[in-house]
Chains A and B, each alone.
Chain A
């Protein structure tokens, strides 16, 4: 790889040991990719928190040791300086206020808080959400970013038109200290054009529809770039958040185009950049049914736990759930957890939405989700969720069975304790 003089100086240790280790990792990573050079970034979203039991031993040696091993892949412990560029923390494993409800041991909650105090003072903004674009980190068209979190990456590329590959813990750790990331993949205009045309033959309207479409699509196209046409109704932040999360779980979609909606595709022609589609796919009732059946692995109708808010809910989604719950009471044997970024939870509390959900017996959480934390209410065997992503991952990670459906299906299941959702309501 070709390095600039400043990059060479960072690599040879002129700017301290941490930046040297960061450059070493970026060099190994860039060469693995076959990248020619690095690109400057001033927007890093990574995972720096120390909230899992497996980090306990490292954290006992201090947070320099945690960052050196897990965020730089460094065998030697280096002192972590201030971040060189704008950097934020994505989702964590622990709700800083409600860890006891999660079932997290107190010492782990304290470990996360100590870590946040350490990293916060070094400039890592503790958004603590999988959706940084909901709480103020909204990069502009063409901005080079280094983001983790597959659902945020696909949103960043597709909806915002900013540029990021799916980075990892180590590459974001290195980018935060150097302001550099390999110039490869989605940073390059030619790699952002559509590859496959997807003709959607049925109306796609609510969150559930968008989740099903994304779940089906990701499994088929893997990491290709689909261009979708058809009756894609009302593609708002909420729906695109669920769609991208689903497509980057069943597959590895990092970018898509909705001609007329997303910024790099005013038309189908522009989406493909003048090239022909490598293939055309059709989405109709059988494909929708297949996605639904693949997601619904549960057998028993009794629902122990309802999880809403993956990716983290917007304030409108919290309001919708609060409205649906007003005057109702959640079943005594069923738990309901609603997840939203902490900054939005403050708004929800101010508006009275949190009280409305708590009055019905639910909990409003922030900072985490069950798939990340691996914590749910004790004894849960069957979970219901409106998130294709959570329905995909929770059974693999925790061994539970999952029902997937609409927000209303899930709220009704929380109240009755029984799953009655169907594909067509």
Chain B
């Protein structure tokens, strides 16, 4: 393995929801709808023209710009948690009430305002540890 493959990045930022969790990154540059954008029973993205259509965030670290669309965002991520298909952790770049409330009720460790753009430095498949209590994200490149 070369050095790049083993590289671990450390990012620092602000806690949105506390806790510590890790998992495989699922990265998208497209905002996500909750109601009408995800299937709360299996955690898949269902929006017709979304780049992650058909992909599930269950147990993964969701790295995305933030929320769009319906006010049912929190309700659908809330139900995803009750159904056991929520993301393990979340990292987003654009704060809105939808994504903040959604993260709170999903109860997954969540961070924002990182010192590097997470959409630029993480890729789907990287291993990501989100320690929201300490304000630290560790990205191990795949």
A and B: partners? yes
0/1 per residue, B92-132, Cβ < 8 Å to A? 00111110111111000010000000000000000000000
By a CB distance below 8 angstroms, the chain B residues around A276 are none
Q: Does B84 sit at the interface, judged by CB under 8 A?
A: no
Q: Does B68 sit at the interface, judged by CB under 8 A?
A: yes
Q: How far is the CA of A297 from the CA of B17 in the complex (A)?
A: 38
Chain A: interface residue count, which band?
Answer: 35 or more
By a CB distance below 8 angstroms, the chain A residues around B91 are none
By a CB distance below 8 angstroms, the chain B residues around A396 are 36-37, 46-48
A168, B73: Cβ atoms closer than 8 Å: yes
By a CB distance below 8 angstroms, the chain B residues around A185 are 96-97
How far, in Å, is A333 (CB) from chain B's closest CB? 25
B40-80 interface with A by 8 A CB criterion: 40, 46-49, 66-75, 78-79
A168, B69: Cβ atoms closer than 8 Å: no
Q: Does A102 sit at the interface, judged by CB under 8 A?
A: no
Known: A32-B101, A33-B95, A223-B96. A395 touches B68 (CB 8 A): no
By a CB distance below 8 angstroms, the chain B residues around A28 are 17, 104
B104, A148: Cβ atoms closer than 8 Å: no
Q: Does A386 sit at the interface, judged by CB under 8 A?
A: no
B49, A294: Cβ atoms closer than 8 Å: yes
Say what secondary structure dominates the interface of chain A. helix
By a CB distance below 8 angstroms, the chain B residues around A168 are 71-75, 97-98, 101-102, 105
Closest chain B residue to A164, Cβ basis: B97
How far, in Å, is A290 (CB) from chain B's closest CB? 12
Closest chain B residue to A52, Cβ basis: B79
B78's partner among A73, A184, A393 (CB-CB below 8 A) is A73
Q: Does B89 sit at the interface, judged by CB under 8 A?
A: no
By a CB distance below 8 angstroms, the chain A residues around B25 are none
Q: Does B16 sit at the interface, judged by CB under 8 A?
A: yes
Q: Does A150 sit at the interface, judged by CB under 8 A?
A: yes
A128-165 interface with B by 8 A CB criterion: 147-150, 153, 165
B71, A32: Cβ atoms closer than 8 Å: no
How far, in Å, is B127 (CB) from chain A's closest CB? 25
A223, B101: Cβ atoms closer than 8 Å: no
By a CB distance below 8 angstroms, the chain B residues around A108 are none
Q: How far is the CA of A165 from the CA of B98 in the complex (A)?
A: 9
How far, in Å, is B53 (CB) from chain A's closest CB? 9
0/1 per residue, A178-203, Cβ < 8 Å to B? 00001011000000000000000000
Q: Does A251 sit at the interface, judged by CB under 8 A?
A: yes
Closest chain A residue to B83, Cβ basis: A54
A169, B75: Cβ atoms closer than 8 Å: yes
A153, B71: Cβ atoms closer than 8 Å: yes
Q: Does A47 sit at the interface, judged by CB under 8 A?
A: yes
By a CB distance below 8 angstroms, the chain A residues around B48 are 297, 392, 395-396
B17's partner among A32, A54, A69 (CB-CB below 8 A) is A32
Q: Does A248 sit at the interface, judged by CB under 8 A?
A: yes
Q: How far is the CA of A47 from the CA of B72 in the complex (A)?
A: 9
How far, in Å, is B104 (CB) from chain A's closest CB? 5
By a CB distance below 8 angstroms, the chain B residues around A169 are 72, 74-75, 78
* In the A-B complex, the 9 residue pairs with the closest CB atoms: A168-B74, A252-B68, A148-B71, A165-B97, A393-B36, A32-B100, A169-B75, A168-B101, A73-B105
List residues of A whose CB falls within 8 A of some B CB.
Answer: 25, 28-29, 32-34, 47, 54, 69-70, 73, 147-150, 153, 165-171, 182, 184-185, 218, 222-223, 248-249, 251-252, 294, 297, 371, 392-393, 395-397
